[in-house]
Amino acid sequence: MVYIMNKAKRKTVIAGNWKMNKTPSEGVAFVKELAESFKDKNGCEIVVCVPDVDICAVAGALSEMGSQIKLGAQNAHWDIKGEYTGETSVNMLKEYGVEYVIIGHSERRKMFGETDDTVNLRLRTILAAGLKAIVCVGEREEERNVGVTCEIVSMQTKEALQEVSAEQLENVIIAYEPIWAIGTGKTPAPEEADRVNGFLRGVLAELYGKEAALSTTIQYGGSMKPNNAKELLSQENVDGGLVGGSSLYADQFAAIVEAAQ
């Protein structure tokens, strides 16, 4: 079942995923340039999800400016500490003022062995720490071609949200990112993105009730750019964007934020 509900009751969030781009100094320069564009605007929440090595520098710059831009990370381990060479804990992130963490991105699933189970473990740890999560779900092109998009994203969403309470859901954003659209320049028709997001809202209603579904932000991600952002973001069930390539350029990212205002 697809639910279409009052968009005004949900927070619009535009989050940039820098992936493995930008040194600390480049990150600082970027957020300073971006902050200049939005001194007097607060129509949506703006998040930059930066590489771990950039977190300290970017956090310092945002604090110094008194910017309303929020700081995000691109992953977090499900244990608080331990013998996990190369990993980062939620407490490490939290100490630097990180508020959001991306989990379940298709690149993590494809290249680094992420599964629905580990997404769920990460999510529960992130929420227990009082942080917010952006949970990515999406189908491969061959899955879309055989018409099982809704089945795939439903399964991923339900697995991610196991043992997550309705109260905790308030700190969860679902990001629908069709894998075939990430970094390819391809995007679904805005109506298709809206249909899948509406279906996901129905999944949330099934799990938590209509009011929870009504208030949950569901983003679209996958080749969102200045030239398609306004139409995508105008859809009833698209409550923001998880932006990849265009988040690396302050003018392009600012244009997407402007489209969301």
User: Annotated catalytic sites, by residue?
Assistant: 105, 177
Per the CB < 8 A criterion, the answer to whether 261 and 33 are in contact is no
DSSP 69: P
For residue 186, which amino acid is it? K
User: Can you read off the two tokens belonging to residue 222?
Assistant: 């996958």
Question: Nearest 10 degrees: CA dihedral of 173, 178, 179, 184?
Answer: -110
For residue 126, which amino acid is it? I
Query: What does the alpha-carbon distance between residue 148 and residue 151 come to, in Å, rounded to a whole number?
Result: 5
DSSP lists the bridge partners of residue 14 as: 46, 241
Nearest to 260 by CA among 5, 41, 34: 41
Residue 209 DSSP SS3: coil
Nearest to 87 by CA among 121, 63, 52, 50: 52
Give just the sign of the alpha carbon dihedral 197, 202, 203, 205.
positive
